[in-house]
Structure 1
Amino acid sequence: MAQRCLKCLKYTMCLANFLCFVCGVAVLCFGVYMMVHMSPLTPTLAKYNLANLLVISGIVITCVSFLGFLGALKENRCLLLTFFLLLFLLMLVELTVACLLLMFEKELGIWVEEDLNKGLAEAKGKMGNSTDAMSEWDLLQNNLDCCGVQNVTDWGDNVPKSCCKDKCDVAKPPYKNDGCLVKMKTFFEENFLTTGISVIVLCVVEVLGMCFAMTLFCHISRSGLGYKL
């Protein structure tokens, strides 16, 4: 009975890690696509934009899940132990980042505001005499229903079409009232609970993965099967 349970645990780990590997490859490909076809919204956030984060996340997910899959399939104690340690380190990093975000929430808001202002200034410089802003700002302003950092006056005389509420082909088109900074803060506040629950669920999954890996590791050590360290 115990052997059947351990075999079930082994193949469950293989299946779960295989699915994680496929998801990691998909995230990596999507991140590369965004990196090629989209430029960063702000100058300082260029190194930390969504495309780069997706690429890094995809690489980490594929590497860790591959170790877990191969370690469980081959009953390799070295790979299982490496998988356990990597999951433990990832969980520590996630919890550390979450704590830092809570501790430095105000400082982060100020930094994002300054960086958005720099990004908007660069966008205005690229506009020239055109009324079309950078596509990234158009996307942000359309999705969040906002205009500028604080309001429409941030754009000066060259207001992009994405700031208009309805049509821009009239003499004095009605512009969106709220700035993107306020909308972004509201968006993060509204999704704070969802983000917190997601982090907790992710940590629970990682703890389960560590328990499964250590259970197999101990079984292989006691039975003398599988590859040695």
Structure 2
Amino acid sequence: MGCFGFLKGMMFVFNGIIFLAGAAILGVGIWVKVDSGSILSFLDKIENVPSELSQVLNVGYLLIAVGALLMVIGFLGCCGAIRESKCMLLLFFIIILLVFIAEVAGAVVILVFRPLADELFAKVGTAAVQSIRRKYGEDPDITGLWNSTMDTLKCCGFYNSSDFDDSPYYNSHNMMYPPQCCPGIEQPCNKTLADSDKRITGCFPLIKQLIDENTVVIVGVALGIAALEICAMVVSMILYCRIKS
């Protein structure tokens, strides 16, 4: 009986955390959709942006769906354990099983269609460079976005400093590059300094490098989540079988 009570308590605590996390994700998703107007206005300013990039705006719907699903899972797990409801525990098990299957299928799809993702990134890179060369230093929204990104990530351009060649900023500053492209100084610099041995890498290569360096961590987290889901299904079935009809 003590083991049964322990499992009930663990189910309640674990699913309570899931419920709160789902509520937070749901709130973020609603905020993204409410504030999507500013994102749309920014994308409209980028010429030749790949049509696939507009799908990023659907992340709000994804967050809302994930948040709602987590809240349902948390509710069923908590109430099913505390009230010893076989129906709720069975629903909890079925939903977790479906989520687990969807995650496995998603991982397979990502591996199979990885080349398409690389092609999309190439299109995004072309559009980003064109946007820099046409509007950086002239359009305050584009300029501000790139300045904030480069200041935060300590990077220069999408690929490298040459992305700024022939941009309004480049032409109006006597063929100089932004300060973010200048290692060790905080003022516009020439090509020699920007392309020196200490050159500052582009934002895309930097992000890609961070992902590659943390692949083991990402895989570990994914495996950990899968393990937790399996444990949750096992515990829910143990409680289901121990509860008297």
TM-score above 0.5, yes or no: yes
Counterpart selection for 1:158 from 152, 168, 177: 168
Please report the TM-score for the alignment, with normalisation by the length of structure 1: 0.77
Unmatched segments (≥5 aa) in structure 1:
225-229
Relative distance call for 1:61 and 1:8 in structure 2 (3 A) is: same
Task: Give the Å deviation of 1:4.
Answer: 2.6
Residue identity opposite 1:157 in structure 2: S
Task: Give the Å deviation of 1:135.
Answer: 4.7
Counterpart selection for 1:190 from 208, 213, 219: 213
Counterpart selection for 1:48 from 43, 47, 56: 56
The percent of aligned pairs where both chains have the same amino acid is: 25
Relative distance call for 1:216 and 1:162 in structure 2 (3 A) is: farther
2:77 aligned with 1:58, yes or no?
no
Task: Give the Å deviation of 1:50.
Answer: 9.4
| Aligned counterparts, 1:132-147, within 5 A | 133=142, 135-147=144-156
Residue identity opposite 2:225 in structure 1: L
Relative distance call for 1:141 and 1:111 in structure 2 (3 A) is: same
Relative distance call for 1:136 and 1:130 in structure 2 (3 A) is: closer
2:39 aligned with 1:39, yes or no?
yes
Aligned match of 2:186: 167
Which stretch of structure 1 is more off in the superposition, 29-38 or 202-211?
29-38
Please say if residues 113 and 149 of structure 1, whose CA atoms lie closer than 8 Å, have aligned partners that are also in contact: no
- Root-mean-square deviation (Å): 3.2
Q: Map Cα deviations across residues 96-125 of structure 1 (whole Å, 9 max, x no partner).
A: 222332333333122122124335545766
Please say if residues 132 and 167 of structure 2, whose CA atoms lie closer than 8 Å, have aligned partners that are also in contact: no
Which stretch of structure 1 is more off in the superposition, 103-112 or 28-37?
28-37
Aligned match of 1:15: 13
Aligned match of 1:70: 79
Q: How far, CA to CA, are the matches of 1:123 and 1:32 in structure 2?
A: 31
Residue identity opposite 1:27 in structure 2: I
Aligned match of 1:206: 229
Unmatched segments (≥5 aa) in structure 2:
44-48, 170-176
Relative distance call for 1:89 and 1:191 in structure 2 (3 A) is: same
Relative distance call for 1:171 and 1:102 in structure 2 (3 A) is: closer
Please report the TM-score for the alignment, with normalisation by the length of structure 2: 0.73
Task: Give the Å deviation of 1:212.
Answer: 1.0
Q: How far, CA to CA, are the matches of 1:135 and 1:89 in structure 2?
A: 43
Which stretch of structure 1 is more off in the superposition, 99-108 or 172-181?
172-181
Aligned match of 2:22: 24
